Amino acid sequence: MLQAQATANLFGLNSEELKQLAMEYGEPRYRGRQIFHDLYARRQQNLENLTNLSKSFRQQLALRFAVIYPRVREKLPSRDGSSRYLLELSDGQVVEAVHMPEKSRVTLCISSQAGCAVDCRFCFTALMGLQRNLTASEILGQVYAIAQDQRMDSHTRLNIVLMGMGEPLLNFAPVMKAIRVLADPDGMRIPWRRITLSTSGIIPRIHDLAHEPVRPKLAISLNASTDEQRAALMPVNRKYPLAELLAACRAYPLRPRELLTFEYVLLDGVNDSGDDALRVAKLLHGLRAKVNLIPYNSGSGLPFRTPPFPRILEFQEILSRKHVPAFIRISRGQDIRAACGQLIVERTEAMAPEDQSH
């Protein structure tokens, strides 16, 4: 009965906000920290279960608040064990997130925006344009919605990658707020080494990230070996060209044993030549970095193809010979639209006939 009147979402508030809230109700500040632990470590969704709090405080909270995660609208399991989720937000927007179980851990790929404004030519999310930024609650809530759906126990070792829909550095404050809760020893307790933020290269925000007290690992979507090529694939390169981007990377303070990751989507006949590989090696010379080579995920609506596998191997070979560690990353869930945004875009724009067999 009490829950019926609740409107505001308690989920997504940080420790300081919860302490303030406790004080508004005439409770001591530390009650806020207890609520934080209940919400983020114990993953309680029912305010009745916050039994550290007095019954009357719980009842008062329930009059105003509920604990709301994004709703699982659809879950698409892949043959390879991963699952793609379509998660619905309170205003009906839908974002994608992916659950990828491995031997000793689980990787979750989550979104930072509904759609994206950066407009990379090879990206399905770009076709949606930017719908809106996600709130910290919605970014964090993707992790909790999937943890709940997968009945994940509290010992599961989680990796979080912000590589879903959107450009995380163009939604900086909410993304950082969500990351701080994920990393909090009293919350999800995920160490920074297991959280990766991927960016198309928003240079001023890379500088800001360098000064954050809680900082994830950083991945940069390079995707090209010259300014001309990169600007054609990623219009953001006109504003933030390669030399400045790599200077920002060189200035970026790495922690012991930390490497920068450069992602490189391989597009057949576009950026996958031997010369491209040599130029990438040169660009990254002297950086503490590794390269993840991502064969392009093809789909309807975009004019690119995946390179033949021998060319991908050759690209890797050349980088390795130049002492740049390079790994081939085949996206999980090939049968369920492996590229983020792809599922939503293809659903919306009516599928091409050859796609309907999957």
**3-state per-residue secondary structure call for the chain:** CHHHHCCEECCCCCHHHHHHHHHHCCCCCHHHHHHHHHHHHCCCCCHHHCCCCCHHHHHHHHHHEECCCCEEEEEEECCCCCEEEEEECCCCCEEEEEEEECCCCEEEECCCEEECCCCCCCCCHHHHCEEEECCHHHHHHHHHHHHHHCCCCCCCCEEEEECCCCCHHHCHHHHHHHHHHHHCCCCCCCCHHHEEEEECCCHHHHHHHHCCCCCCEEEEECCCCCHHHHHHHCCHHHHCCHHHHHHHHHHCCCCCCCCEEEEEEECCCCCCCHHHHHHHHHHCCCCCEEEEEEECCCCCCCCCCCCCHHHHHHHHHHHHHCCCCEEECCCCCHHHCCCCCHHHHHHHCCCCHHHCCC
**Please, what is the minimum distance in Å from the beta carbon of residue 129 to ligand SF4?**
10
Please say if 123 is a catalytic residue.
no
Residues 276-295 contacting ligand SAH, CB under 6 A: 294
Q: Does 263 engage in binding with ligand SAH (CB under 6 A)?
A: yes
Answer with the entry of ligand SAH, ligand SF4, none that 223 interacts with (C-beta below 5 to 8 A by kind). ligand SAH
- Interface pick for ligand SF4 out of 22, 116, 245, 345 (rule CB under 6 A): 116
> Among residues 15 and 292, whose Cβ is nearest to ligand SAH?
292
> Among residues 39 and 224, whose Cβ is nearest to ligand SAH?
224
> Among residues 35 and 202, whose Cβ is nearest to ligand SAH?
202
Answer with the entry of ligand SAH, ligand SF4, none that 281 interacts with (C-beta below 5 to 8 A by kind). none
Say how far apart CA 120 and CA 233 lie, in whole Å.
6
Say how far apart CA 42 and CA 53 lie, in whole Å.
15
Q: Does 261 engage in binding with ligand SAH (CB under 6 A)?
A: no
Answer with the entry of ligand SAH, ligand SF4, none that 339 interacts with (C-beta below 5 to 8 A by kind). ligand SAH
Q: Does 199 engage in binding with ligand SAH (CB under 6 A)?
A: yes
Please say if 109 is a catalytic residue.
no
Here's the x/- map for ligand SF4, 214-243, by CB under 6 A: it reads as -------x----------------------
**Please, what is the minimum distance in Å from the beta carbon of residue 8 to ligand SAH?**
30
> Among residues 32 and 168, whose Cβ is nearest to ligand SF4?
168
Here's the x/- map for ligand SF4, 148-167, by CB under 6 A: it reads as ------------------xx
Residue tagged active-site, from 123, 138, 340, 346: 340
- Interface pick for ligand SAH out of 69, 252, 262, 296 (rule CB under 6 A): 296
Q: Which residues are catalytic?
A: 96, 340
Applying CB under 6 A, the residues found at the interface with ligand SAH are: 122-124, 163, 167, 198-200, 221, 223, 263, 265, 294, 296-297, 339
Contact residues: ligand SF4, CB under 6 A:
116, 118-120, 123, 125-126, 166-167, 200, 221
